[in-house]
Chains A and B, each alone.
Chain A
Amino acid sequence: MINGISIVSVWVLDQDSAREFYTGKLGFELTNDIKLDNGMRWLTVRPPGNAGQEFLLMDPSHSMLDEQTAAAVRGLVAKGALSPGVMATTDCRGDYEALVTRGVEFSQPPAERPYGVEAILRDDSGNWFSFTQRTG
């Protein structure tokens, strides 16, 4: 039985900056920061309210991708085309205010939706996330 998703890969442009953004600004916990023999840096973080799921913050230039593909992925991330998914929050409006104060960019402020309150957050690389507090 498949019982969840343990790691989601997120392409980032700069792993040092991503580590600072996710841990320093979003308040994620650092779970791994390991340099592998093949040159890949295994950098994982976990949202504070969740014991299971982690983000793997991957640099396309130091991954399984060839150079040309990595450059294409970096371009897609930088132009804002990619979205790794939805971040769940227990207080969309409160978190939005706190995160904006810390310099986190949102392309859309919190708004009422049929399923809850939702904003759109950008990470430091250009990935966008729905930032949603579900009703009920």
Chain B
Amino acid sequence: MGLGRSAATDVTSLRMLRKARDRIDRDYREEIGIAALASGAGYSREHFIRAFHAAYGETPGRYRTRRRVERARDLLRSANLTVTEICYLVGFSSVGTFSSRFSELTGMSPTRYRAEAAARGGPAPIPGCFALMWETGLPAAPAGQDRTCGEARGAGTGVPSGA
């Protein structure tokens, strides 16, 4: 167990990671550099990516992609905008990248997603924030890795270097 490490240190670093993650949630449209997020949280770029991955199970770059796709799904369900407009609105700079990331995370293209959502009728009576936190909240933990205590465990284990 990683709890032997000072809990106070864990809490301090987890708070900083959470603030960086909130910044991705708030400013998902902008291309904030990972290095800028890292320095804001008091980390070097590489250490930040490892610590973020240890706490949340994915790199900050991957999290931002999921956040953007989640926002795109919301707009596809509710907004009278074209797929291309939504692509740029949520922060992607190329429709090709948007479509492939969207399909990878959703299992279907943006166009088909919109058609299926329309066929189902109106939005489900679930508060959007819960839908948001469900979708971008906490991904399933990688096998054998308990992430409840953040970087105390699993730091430096096979994290992709590209954020």
Residue B15 CB within 8 A of the other chain: yes
B118, CB-defined interface residue at 8 Å: no
**Which residues of chain B in 93-152 are interfacial with respect to chain A, using CB atoms and an 8 Å cutoff?**
122-123, 125, 127-130, 132-133, 137-138, 148-150, 152
| A80 and B7 in contact, given A75-B150, A126-B15 (Cβ under 8 angstroms) | no
In angstroms, Cα B77 to Cα A114, docked, is 12
Q: Is A44 an interface residue when CB atoms closer than 8 A count as contact?
A: no
Q: Is A71's CB under 8 angstroms from B17's CB?
A: no
Residue pairs across A and B with CB atoms within 8 Å: the count is: 82
Given A81-B138, A106-B26, A107-B25, A75 and B127 touching (CB < 8 A)? Answer: no
> How many residues on the B side are at the interface (Cβ–Cβ under 8 A)?
32
Beyond A72-B3, A75-B152, list 15 extra A-B contacts (CB 8 Å): A72-B149, A78-B10, A78-B15, A80-B21, A81-B138, A83-B133, A107-B26, A108-B129, A114-B125, A115-B127, A118-B127, A120-B129, A126-B14, A126-B18, A130-B127
B interface list, Cβ under 8 A from A: 1, 3, 7, 10-12, 14-15, 17-19, 21-22, 25-26, 55-56, 122-123, 125, 127-130, 132-133, 137-138, 148-150, 152
Q: Which A residues fall within an 8 A CB radius of B?
A: 13, 68, 70-72, 74-76, 78-81, 83, 86, 105-109, 111, 113-115, 118, 120, 122, 126, 128, 130, 132
